[in-house]
Amino acid sequence: MKHTISVLVENKAGVLSRISGLFARRGFNIDSLAVGTTEDKNISRITLLVEGDDYIAEQVTKQLNKQIDVIKVRKLNQDEITRRELVLVKVKMSSAQRGEIIDIVKIMQGQIVDISHTTLTVELCDRPDKIDILIELLSHYNIIEVARTGIIALQKGAESV
Amino acid sequence: MITGADAIVRSLENEGVEIIFGYPGATVCPLYDKLSKSKIKHILVRHEQHAGHAASGYARIKQRPGVCMTTSGPGATNLITALGTAYMDSIPLVAITGQVSSDLLGRDVFQEADITGAAEPFTKYSYLVKCADDLPRIIKEAFHIASTGRPGPVLIDIPVNVQNQKLEYTTPGEVNLRGYKPTIKGHAGQIKRICKAINNSEKPLICAGGGIFAANAQKELKQFAEMINIPIVSTMMGIGAVPTDHPLYAGMLGMHGKNIANQAISESDLLILIGARVSDRAVLLPANVGNNTKIIHIDIDPAEIGKNLSTFIPVVGDANQILTQVMSAQTERKSDDWPGLLRSKKSKIKIDYNPRKFGINPKGFVNLLSGMLPNDHIYCADVGQNQIWSAANCQIRQGRFLTSGGMGTMGYSIPAAIGAKLADPDKTVVAVCGDGAFQMNMMELGTICQHNVDIKIVVMKNNKLGLVKEIQRNSYKDNEIAVDLTGSPDITAIAKAYGIPARSIDSMDVAEEAIAEMIRHKGTYLLVCTVDENESSM
């Protein structure tokens, strides 16, 4: 089972290393981790996707809370959040394949952000499952590189962490 | 304007620091220079690791953070084992390390080590100071973090140029860390649930851990147990939380504990864990706890609750506060059937005083030793068979039992005893170790002599690393490897070379008289007890 955990931390040197070290030490499996600043420049938000049962999710939450630089930890309910991830995919193609790829990108509501004689770079910002579909579709061509940002998430409605 | 080093000394004085255990080096020279003009006493140890252990012994007795100080690079890395030892046992320390000049950081210059990085898993928090202006605030925060909530070591790494920077000293205000607000008071609803659970139980049992000492809750624990008539077992870290001769105390539990304590755990229908981690050594995992046993877990660290045992009523807060809250709520006094049963079982336990064919009987010896020492003595046990003999057989009436419980660090006892004695010079302090551990910390005899520290040292000598030998005997078909200590020196001669009187005994017939001589002697004394190498720990 995957858990999405949103963590507000002090925006200081060494915080990320403390937190990633914690996961390695305690044997927690992190599927994705995204960090960025928030509306307050002194606070960063880390969004984590953790694989494990409820016991693991609880341990992750408690161990994070124990960190002095962690201000708030919230395990987000999967049904009550908006999740987004950004992906860039560089695909090698022949001129015959170009049209097919552009069709796929259109259907997936992505964009072509770079083009050369032999490659296309596709951008998509969407739910992680949609991104998986795009990558699967493009894998029938020659994918050269993929870059994913990791998931970020916020609660739906007026609620906040 | 004053220098960073001045500001450090002033901040330490403001925190009430009286003693620093340390070992100098190039990158802490500015700080040592200023320290020499302060009233703070510096104890020069003979190895940086022991600066940390001595600060740990000091902290446990003084009930405030112990302070240790070393130089950068190897000085700092030598401290790591002591930080880890303190971290596992939740001992408040403030460790100050020198660091190479901040403009050289990351260039692998002479004696540079990324100590905040290396010590990260073993510290509650750490600082790498980049600007002298931050020093007063950081030092105040460090003492606050080390001593509040679940105590632990805090590291402050200070580059040598920061120690020389000028700053305008301003006294920092109250510490306010938005990510760190430990819960002290127990949740009122949970307190009610505790009372109800106690009232509905037939065989409640308290398991006291080291958290009792951290919360200074020995008195409250005793009152609570007596008021409701609940028997108590302890973890190794909890030994002495109530006097070992208390009628409600059933002994230490766990792998090396008393059968009666382990039986009590499996028979109890309500286990009240207070400040105990219930690690693998304490409870052989859920197998040991009865199927129908409900668990109340009281701990200041929410992350400990539910980590090793699933909990029926979790309560986060300070043990002292919560016990007081429970006592002021309504709980009925329990009948004496269950405590009486344990008491009668306990009364049938006889300490093993049987004479041995060869050498002294270490189990009887530690019982006799702790019995003859003053009621409030401080007993520092090292790690190995001697720790198990001590934990299972020594008598802690009003004193303390100090040992490295979590990390199991050999060589803890003598430096910890030095720290404990300096924290409370009126107490008799004894360090009991094996000949393996002694050879890991015997250089501290120099510290003892230099600073006139009066501790009693007992070395259980069997020329073996006894506990490992026992594991090899039981689990590796007696394939004894790398446990023979042949080549060890005459320990009494070592002591005498330091000018410390010493004696060696090999029979229980003279034990009482030898112990009496050691206690009578004013100043440090070393007693070597020859023990048979096949003596078992249990």
- CATH code at B270? 3.40.50.1220
pLDDT confidence of residue B285: 46
pLDDT band at B282 (very low <50, low <70, confident <90, very high): low
Same domain? B343 vs B382: no
Same domain? B142 vs B240: no
A69 touches chain B (CB under 8 A): yes
Q: What is the average pLDDT across B343-365? A: 93
Rounded CA gap, B424 and B419, in Å?
9
Same domain? B204 vs B102: no
Rounded CA gap, A150 and A152, in Å?
7
pLDDT band at A29 (very low <50, low <70, confident <90, very high): confident
> Which residues does chain B have within 8 Å of residue A71's beta carbon, measured at their own beta carbons?
178-179
Evaluate whether residue B535 is within a structural domain.
no
**Residue from the list A58, A68, A70 with its beta carbon closest to the beta carbon of B306:** A58
Domain boundary among B317, B347, B377: B347
Query: Average pLDDT of chain B?
Result: 95
Same domain? B376 vs B463: yes
Domain boundary among B319, B347, B375: B347
Roughly how many angstroms between the first and final C-alpha of chain A, as a whole number? 22
Evaluate whether residue B515 is within a structural domain.
yes
Task: Tell how strand A2-10 and strand A70-76 pair up.
Answer: antiparallel
Same domain? B276 vs B201: yes
Evaluate whether residue B12 is within a structural domain.
yes
Residue B287 has pLDDT above 90, yes or no: no
Same domain? B86 vs B208: no
3-state DSSP helix/strand/coil % of chain A, to nearest 5: 30, 45, 25
pLDDT confidence of residue B159: 98
Query: Average pLDDT of chain A?
Result: 94
- Answer yes or no: do A25 and B121 touch at CB < 8 A: yes
Sequence-ordered list of residues with C-beta below 8 angstroms from that of B182, at least 6 positions apart, any chain: B148, B149, B150, B300
Chain A residue with minimum CA distance to B180: A68
Evaluate whether residue B180 is within a structural domain.
no
Q: What is the ipTM of this complex?
A: 0.85
Rounded CA gap, B355 and B370, in Å?
18
pLDDT confidence of residue B81: 98
**Residue from the list A10, A14, A55 with its beta carbon closest to the beta carbon of B179:** A10
- Answer yes or no: do A70 and B179 touch at CB < 8 A: yes
Output phi, psi for B272, to 5 deg: -105, 100
Q: What is the average pLDDT across B449-457? A: 97
- Answer yes or no: do A25 and B303 touch at CB < 8 A: no
Identify how many contiguous H helices and E strands chain A contains and give both numbers: 4, 9
Rounded CA gap, B451 and B465, in Å?
31
| Angle subtended at Cα A12 by Cα A7 and Cα A14, rounded to the nearest 5 degrees | 90
Q: How many domains does chain B have?
A: 3
Q: What is the pTM of this model?
A: 0.93
Q: What is the average pLDDT across B193-214? A: 95
Rounded CA gap, B453 and B447, in Å?
8
Evaluate whether residue B273 is within a structural domain.
yes
Q: What CATH number has the domain bearing residue B452?
A: 3.40.50.970
**Residue from the list A10, A55, A68 with its beta carbon closest to the beta carbon of B145:** A68
Same domain? B338 vs B413: no
Domain boundary among B347, B374, B392: B347
Residue B277 has pLDDT above 80, yes or no: yes
> Which of A62, A70, A71, A72 is the best residue to mutate to test the B interface, defined by the most B CB atoms within 10 Å of its own CB?
A62
A14 touches chain B (CB under 8 A): yes
CB pairs under 8 A between A and B: 36
Give burial (CB, 10 Å; 0-12/13-18/19+) of B210: buried
Percent of chain B with pLDDT over 90: 91
In B172-277, DSSP assigns E strands to 204-208, 232-234, 249-252, 270-274
Evaluate whether residue B8 is within a structural domain.
yes
Tokens, residue A2: 């995957």
B303 touches chain A (CB under 8 A): yes
Same domain? B375 vs B333: no
> Which residues does chain A have within 8 Å of residue B178's beta carbon, measured at their own beta carbons?
10, 71
The domain of B473 spans: 362-530
Sequence-ordered list of residues with C-beta below 8 angstroms from that of B188, at least 6 positions apart, any chain: B325
Same domain? B343 vs B399: no
Q: What is the average pLDDT across A85-94? A: 96
> Which residues does chain A have within 8 Å of residue B145's beta carbon, measured at their own beta carbons?
68
Same domain? B307 vs B216: yes
> Which of A18, A20, A40, A161 is the best residue to mutate to test the B interface, defined by the most B CB atoms within 10 Å of its own CB?
A18
CB A43 within 8 A of CB A13: no
**Residue from the list A9, A13, A63 with its beta carbon closest to the beta carbon of B303:** A63
Q: Which amino acid is at B238?
A: G
3-state DSSP helix/strand/coil % of chain B, to nearest 5: 40, 20, 40
Helices B218-228 and B319-328, interaxial angle, to 10°? 30
Evaluate whether residue B170 is within a structural domain.
no
Same domain? B338 vs B367: no
Closest of A62, A21, A158, A39 to residue B307, by C-alpha:
A62
Name the least confident of B199-203, B276-280, B395-399.
B276-280
Evaluate whether residue B389 is within a structural domain.
yes
Same domain? B214 vs B256: yes
